[in-house]
């Protein structure tokens, strides 16, 4: 299977002084092109045995500090991040121009206020399911999981669902951000930002 990517260039003149403004632009372009879940990123962590693990998580907030997503802190990713607060993330957008962004950096807990606000904004069913599910833990059956959800729904009635203490946000604070523009013949354009003492350093990479 082979796809040619077109010949839209990415040049040094296209690269701003810092990476996040370009990331926002590429994310907006993917959203406008109706990419399914353009905020989905492959997110990789390592466990105590240095075994890598990767899964898809959804970027929910983006600011000068970094990229925020939300999860169960008792999940596999949560326990891995507690032991090793380093991670990598990759975005891939085939539309509109076959683009990839890779980030590496440290991961910090989001503030309690940020976690509370986002949890409160979620649909009620999502709140209940997040609170009831023992994420990444073994369960005997789907029926057991559904019983947990329905029991919590019955117990809370119409009352607000409190954010459980094991659920909250994480912020990936990048120290490298790489932009990849697919081009025909596999002669792709790649630029990598590295966080330095006085700001971001930029370098072109061979494809």
Mean pLDDT calculated for residue range 164-189: 96
Q: Is the pLDDT of residue 163 over 90?
A: yes
Say how far apart CA 179 and CA 200 lie, in whole Å.
Answer: 14
Number of domains the chain contains = 1
Residues sharing a CB contact under 8 Å with residue 84, sequence separation 6 or more, in sequence order: 45, 46, 47, 48
Mean pLDDT calculated for residue range 3-7: 82
38: nearest Cα among 95, 89, 88: 95
Structure tokens at 174: 């990048």
Structure tokens at 194: 């590295």
153 located within any domain: no
Domain with 119, as residue range(s), is: 12-123+165-205
Mean pLDDT calculated for residue range 69-77: 96
The whole-number pLDDT of residue 7 equals 85
Q: Is 118 left (phi over 0), alpha (psi -120 to 50) or beta?
A: alpha
Mean pLDDT calculated for residue range 11-23: 97
Reply yes or no on whether 97 is catalytic: no
Q: What is the CATH number of the domain that holds 197?
A: 2.30.110.10
Say how far apart CA 193 and CA 202 lie, in whole Å.
Answer: 5
Following DSSP, what letter does each residue of 98-160 receive, concatenated?
A: -EEEEEEEEEEEPPHHHHHHHHHHS-HHHHHHHHH--TTS--S-HHHHHHHHHHHHHHHTTSP
3-state per-residue secondary structure call for 17-86: CCCHHHHHHHHHHHHHCCCCCCCEEEEEEECCCCCEEEEEEECCEECCCCEEEEEECCCHHHHHHHHCCE
149 located within any domain: no
Say how far apart CA 108 and CA 91 lie, in whole Å.
Answer: 20
44 located within any domain: yes
pTM of the model: 0.91
Residues sharing a CB contact under 8 Å with residue 15, sequence separation 6 or more, in sequence order: 22, 179, 191, 202
Roughly how many angstroms between the first and final C-alpha of the chain, as a whole number?
19
The chain-wide mean pLDDT, for the chain, equals: 95
47 located within any domain: yes
159 located within any domain: no
The residues with which 24 forms a beta bridge, in sequence order, are none
Of residues 186, 190, 195, 204, which has the active-site annotation? 186
pLDDT grade for 114, boundaries at 50, 70 and 90 = very high
51 located within any domain: yes
187 located within any domain: yes
42 located within any domain: yes
Q: Is the pLDDT of residue 119 over 90?
A: yes
Mean pLDDT calculated for residue range 110-121: 97
């Amino acid at each position: 299977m082979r796809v040619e990517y077109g010949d839209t260039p990415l040049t040094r003149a296209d690269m701003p002084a810092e990476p996040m403004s370009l990331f926002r632009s590429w994310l907006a372009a993917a959203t406008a092109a109706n990419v399914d879940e353009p905020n989905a990123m492959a997110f990789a962590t390592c466990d105590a045995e240095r075994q890598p693990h990767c899964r898809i998580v959804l970027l929910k907030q983006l600011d000068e500090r970094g990229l925020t997503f939300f999860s169960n802190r008792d999940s596999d990713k949560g326990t891995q991040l507690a032991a090793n607060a380093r991670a990598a993330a990759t975005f891939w957008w085939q539309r509109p121009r076959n683009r990839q962004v890779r980030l590496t950096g440290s991961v910090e807990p989001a503030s309690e206020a940020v976690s509370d606000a986002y949890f409160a904004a979620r649909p009620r069913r999502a709140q209940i399911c997040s609170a009831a599910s023992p994420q990444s833990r073994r369960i005997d059956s789907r029926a057991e999981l559904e019983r947990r959800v329905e029991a919590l729904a019955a117990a809370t009635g119409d009352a607000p669902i409190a954010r459980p203490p094991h659920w909250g946000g994480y912020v990936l604070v990048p120290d490298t951000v790489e932009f990849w523009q697919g081009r025909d013949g596999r002669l792709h354009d790649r630029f990598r930002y590295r966080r330095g003492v006085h700001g971001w350093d930029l370098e072109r990479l061979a494809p």
